[in-house]
């Protein structure tokens, strides 16, 4: 009887000990895993995000993506930032600046790519001057594609181009049905339309060699209270960017799967972007000045108000050191 009781007591002690160990281990995991509410644009501009999710880069940094909201346009994402529950966003520069101008407290901390905007037109339009009297769609005022159209109009002194606002899927359908003559679209949407027989008339790199694309932005409160978390996000972005540039074919397969598009379109559309993380404040300021010039902003914004590259520079320096040792 006594040996039996002793065995039961020993078993209970073992179970209790294992339970305590499990609770402690779960608590450690919980403490080391930072929950994040994140938003991205549903296109290949967010390739770094799609790759990072697929390859487990967030998890390896102890980051837990609690919610991931996707938006068809950066302008929609910009409006959502005002809610306050989204802490982290990957979006095109224009919409982020629009959000900041409306009082959303964000800081831009890294870049994801340059370029990725294309003016696609009907096949019968042979030159830029054929845009006279035509109707061109873009996602909205303040979007990079709006700036592309306005820049083309100004550079080529066009007098009669009608700009209408449509989300990319509607613009694609309207172009295919003949309701509009062209559309300024972000990739991958531009490549989808080109695959349907339409012509890429002009790309953002034709207008501006270093056209800023999408950026990683965080709420100021998050940066102030948890800079280490933000640094981890930047590290994930840099790691994913390196992966894309070194493994474009595999990255394109990941993007194709996430966006549910053919691999060839994903690959070709990604070739129209340059995936980089370094930020030139002068180029960002030039972009902001264009937004003000074309009536997207009510006041001039200084780049120093919205840009904080401290952590990015640290990550890039650390990455360079690791590469050098390798």
Tell whether the model's pLDDT for residue 5 goes beyond 70.
Answer: no
Residue 24 has pLDDT above 50, yes or no: no
Q: Contact, 173 vs 196, CB < 8 A?
A: no
**Helix (H), strand (E) counts: the chain:** 16, 12
Segment 116-120 mean pLDDT: 98
**pLDDT per position as a tens digit, 217-263:** 999 999 999 999 999 999 999 999 999 999 999 999 999 999 999 99
pTM: 0.86
Architecture of the domain defined by 33-115+212-325: 3-Layer(aba) Sandwich (3.40)
Strands 88-92 and 34-41: parallel
- Statement: residue 202 has pLDDT above 80: yes
- Kindly indicate the confidence band of residue 323, based on its pLDDT and cuts at 50, 70 and 90: low
Cite the residue boundaries of each domain of the chain with CATH code 3.40.190.10. 33-115+212-325, 117-207
What is the reported pLDDT for 81? 80
* pLDDT at residue 321 in the model: 63
| DSSP one-letter code for 37 | E
CB 237 within 8 A of CB 112: yes
Is the per-residue pLDDT at 21 higher than 80? no
- Residue in the structure block whose two tokens are 């062209």: 182
Give the residue-averaged pLDDT of 153-178.
96
Q: What is the mean pLDDT of residues 72-79?
A: 80
Q: 32: burial class by Cβ within 10 Å (0-12, 13-18, 19+)?
A: exposed
Mean per-residue pLDDT for 300-311? 98
Superfamily of domain 117-207: Periplasmic binding protein-like II (3.40.190.10)
Q: Is residue 291 within 8 Å of residue 297, measured between CB atoms?
A: yes
pLDDT at 79: 78
Average pLDDT over residues 143-153: 97
Would you state the structure tokens that stand for residue 74, as one six-digit string? Answer: 């950066």
- Please provide the average confidence, as pLDDT, over all residues in the chain: 89
């Amino acid at each position: 009887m006594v040996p039996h009781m002793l065995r039961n007591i020993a078993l209970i002690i073992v179970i209790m000990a294992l339970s305590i160990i499990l609770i402690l281990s779960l608590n450690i995991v919980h403490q080391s895993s930072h929950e994040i509410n994140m938003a991205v644009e549903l296109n290949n501009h967010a390739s770094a995000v799609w790759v990072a999710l697929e390859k487990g880069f967030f998890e390896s940094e102890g980051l837990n993506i609690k919610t991931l909201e996707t938006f068809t346009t950066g302008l929609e994402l910009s409006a959502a930032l005002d809610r306050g529950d989204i802490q982290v966003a990957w979006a095109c520069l224009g919409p982020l600046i629009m959000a900041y101008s409306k009082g959303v407290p964000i800081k831009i901390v890294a870049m994801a790519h340059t370029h990725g905007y294309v003016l696609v037109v009907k096949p019968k339009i042979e030159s830029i001057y054929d845009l006279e009297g035509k109707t061109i769609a873009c996602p909205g005022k303040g979007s990079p594609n709006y700036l592309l159209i306005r820049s083309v109009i100004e550079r080529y002194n066009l007098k009669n181009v009608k700009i209408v606002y449509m989300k990319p899927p509607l613009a694609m359908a309207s172009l295919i049905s003949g309701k509009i003559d062209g559309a300024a679209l972000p990739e991958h949407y531009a490549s989808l339309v080109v695959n349907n027989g339409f012509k890429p008339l002009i790309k953002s790199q034709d207008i501006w060699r270093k056209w800023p694309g999408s950026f990683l932005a965080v709420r100021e409160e998050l940066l102030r209270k948890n800079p280490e978390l933000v640094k981890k996000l930047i590290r994930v972005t840099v790691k994913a960017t390196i992966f894309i540039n070194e493994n474009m074919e595999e990255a394109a397969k990941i993007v194709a799967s996430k966006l549910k598009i053919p691999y060839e379109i994903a690959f070709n559309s990604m070739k129209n972007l340059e995936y980089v993380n370094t930020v030139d404040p002068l180029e960002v300021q030039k972009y902001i000045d264009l937004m003000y010039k074309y009536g997207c902003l009510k006041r001039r914004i200084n780049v120093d108000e919205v840009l904080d590259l401290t952590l990015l520079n640290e990550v890039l320096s650390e990455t360079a050191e690791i590469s050098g040792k390798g």
